[in-house]
Amino acid sequence: MTTRFPHRLGSRTAAGLALCLAGAFAVTAAPAAATGTTPTTAPTPPAGTVTADPLARYHRQHLDWKTCLLGPDDDTGRELQQAGAQCADVTVPLNYDAPDGRTITVAISRIRATDTAHRVGALLLNGGGPGGQSLGDPPWVRSAMRQVGERYDVVGVDPRFVGRSTPLDCHWPTGSSIRGAGKDRAGFDRSVAEAEELADRCRTTQGEVLPYVTTRNTARDMDVVRAALGERRISYLGYSYGTYLGQVYATMFPGRTDRVVLDGVLAPDRYSPRLLRGTEPANRHALNGWAGWAAARDATYGLGRTPGRVLATVERVQAAAGRRPLQIGGHRVDDRMVPVLVLNGLSQDNDAAYADLARAVRDMRHAADGRTVTPSPWLGETLDFLLSGSDSAYGSVQTAVLCGDVAAPRSPEEYWRDVQRSRASDPFFGPVTHNITPCAFWDPPRERPTTVRDDLPALLVNATGDPRTTYRSAQSLRRMWPSSRLVTLRGADQHAVYGVFGNACADATVNTYLATGRLPAADVTCDRSSG
């Protein structure tokens, strides 16, 4: 549920639109370079060996740890190397029902514990998506953990078909399948045709592996990683879609988790290919908050002196794009794309993110006025992500996981009715959150969705104004898991809190739990100013 919008944790590149729009957020500090890994063969046990474990050769494989730096332009590898991390490839089956068949690799990185006398174990990371890379995350997570990080092996994992793991790329002309439906039936019909074309491209180019691009298989890979690391249990930190992955892993492999932190919580009953539905009020709240911020800086951005006038500017841009696509640099932006761009700018509640969105809206307003526009850096990166094939692999994997996990409605008319109904309550965001996706044209999933376990003593973290994984979703999982505890960041329209927002109260609560293994006696509420 990471709408791979261009808001990553340390950098703001166009790589997190999956759950950010779809409800998830790829919390990744920097993009990891793909290596073009090809399928490999797992070590074969000696002839005559009899084992009751069909995955024994994967669980007992030797990991070849090496430098993470692939070359002089590999920024992720350089950051990992500077942090003292090493990388390895873990061999896993493509199809767990046929473990002796084709194999793929899962790329991992590790910063080892330095306080070995008090070592807790391995902490596996997932920054969301689906489709987000986590290989490069250990350095910033280790920094957020402060002294407690010395007691963990902090392990980043690029899930199957992501980043440096065996790749999947449907060769799409976009990095995301998320679009608005436009103002009328003609715009919606274009969305239908595009969604069907994207699905056909994946079926044609990646049909042999698509059935195995699922959360359940990613969870199975995690357990192979656990075993290959020599760990009886693992701790886990997951953001956004990664919170759902954590729920699935803890359900499929009971007794193999230690300390579990889920930040930006996606409740299991909210997980589906239509992840954005229901986020309209939270996104509208975030938009209003940004409008107030921009109005206070009208001298800088010129969008309006009051929040109402700023919002009117956004509506004016949308109307102009509906009459004629806006020419911004080398891209044409129509009314199906404007609300997607705005959604993309609303996952982080801070001055830098707000300024990026303000400059983007200013650029679009200038284009609406017929002026020649060279997009600001954030807008340029976001448009490249959405309107070129440079990030095709991200959109391909994200969509493949969502479609492979849960079946979507097949009839375009059902989506059209939902779009029309949603206009009544939110004509700007509704046609995005209810629009059709390639999942309507996908083959049925191989497995049923996971029925998530009834309870788990985990630490849940969520901001009240999270526009991707809403606070209501976190409250739902808290009720479902009575032995868990919920850390609430009050007053922030923020997606992903721990180590991201900079709130001392929330960060300290997570670090105390990671240090002691003891959950707070009761739920914890932190004000956004306590940091």
Q: Enumerate the active-site residues.
A: 240, 466, 495
Q: Measured between alpha carbons, how far is 195 from 409 in angstroms, rounded to an integer?
A: 13
Q: Measured between alpha carbons, how far is 338 from 331 in angstroms, rounded to an integer?
A: 12
* Residue 204 CB-density burial (10 A; 0-12 exposed, 13-18 middle, 19+ buried): exposed
Q: Which residues contact 379 (CB under 8 A, 6 or more apart)?
A: 328, 341, 356, 359, 360, 363, 364
Q: Measuring CA to CA, which residue among 170, 174, 200, 194 is closest to residue 182?
A: 194
User: CB of 438 within 8 A of CB of 455?
Assistant: no
Q: Measuring CA to CA, which residue among 274, 229, 252 is closest to residue 108?
A: 229
Q: Which residues contact 493 (CB under 8 A, 6 or more apart)?
A: 282, 285, 286, 289, 346, 349, 463, 465, 466, 467
Query: Within 13 Å, how many C-alpha atoms sit on residue 433's CB side?
Result: 27
Q: Measured between alpha carbons, how far is 499 from 477 in angstroms, rounded to an integer?
A: 22
User: CB of 229 within 8 A of CB of 122?
Assistant: yes
Q: Measuring CA to CA, which residue among 225, 246, 249, 228 is closest to residue 237?
A: 246
DSSP-based three-state secondary structure for 307 = helix
User: CB of 392 within 8 A of CB of 400?
Assistant: no
3-state secondary structure labels for all residues of 489-508: EECCCCCCCCCCCCCHHHHH
* Count of C-beta atoms within a 10 Å radius of residue 65: 14
Residue 179, amino acid: R
Q: Which residues contact 226 (CB under 8 A, 6 or more apart)?
A: 122, 124, 233, 234, 256
